[in-house]
């Protein structure tokens, strides 16, 4: 079993308040932690998951990236991942899953001049 949590944090001069929005449990965790070199087009990451069993999702990079699902030429989805802005989703949080098709692989482009650190997790049952 794998457990993931999505939290929200607020900081000000008087301290920090952190709240767990939801906890998720799944039988499989799909993930990637790595570097996408500057100037790379359609770097293939061979990971996948079924959307029907997806419980939570997180993508983050320290540089702007473009992430395509399933195909580099006719993707199921194209996500513009902004630098240092986490894409997160979880069942029951009231938002639509940004991934709407089963994923067979990812294709990542780093059009910038700086190598990017990419972290990605999908939790499924």
The three-state (H, E, C) secondary structure of 35-59, written as one string: EECCCCCCEEECCCECHHHEEEEEE
- Using DSSP's 3-state secondary structure scheme, residue 43 falls into strand
Domains of the chain as residue ranges with CATH: 25-124 (2.60.120.10)
Question: What integer is the mean pLDDT of 9-17?
Answer: 93
For the cut 90, the answer to whether the pLDDT of residue 109 exceeds it is yes
Identify which of 63, 55, 76, 70 has the alpha carbon closest to the alpha carbon of residue 6. Answer: 55
Average predicted confidence (pLDDT) for the chain:
96
Question: What integer is the mean pLDDT of 87-103?
Answer: 94
Percent of the chain with pLDDT over 70: 100
Question: What integer is the mean pLDDT of 31-36?
Answer: 98
Tokens in use for 40?
């790379």
Tokens in use for 51?
């959307």
For the cut 90, the answer to whether the pLDDT of residue 81 exceeds it is yes
For the cut 90, the answer to whether the pLDDT of residue 21 exceeds it is no
pLDDT, residue 73, reads 97
More confident residue, 58 or 7: 58
């Amino acid at each position: 079993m794998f457990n993931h949590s999505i939290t929200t944090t607020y900081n000000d001069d008087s301290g920090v308040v952190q709240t767990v929005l939801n906890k998720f449990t799944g039988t499989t965790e799909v993930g990637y932690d790595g570097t996408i070199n500057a100037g790379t087009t359609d770097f293939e990451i061979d990971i996948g998951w079924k959307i029907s069993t997806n419980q939570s999702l997180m993508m983050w990079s320290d540089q702007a990236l473009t992430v395509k699902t399933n195909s580099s030429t006719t993707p199921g989805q194209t996500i513009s991942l902004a630098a240092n802005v986490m894409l997160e989703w979880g069942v029951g949080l009231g938002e639509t899953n940004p991934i709407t098709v089963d994923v067979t692989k990812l294709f990542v482009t780093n059009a910038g001049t700086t190598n990017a650190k990419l972290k990605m997790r999908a939790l499924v049952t």
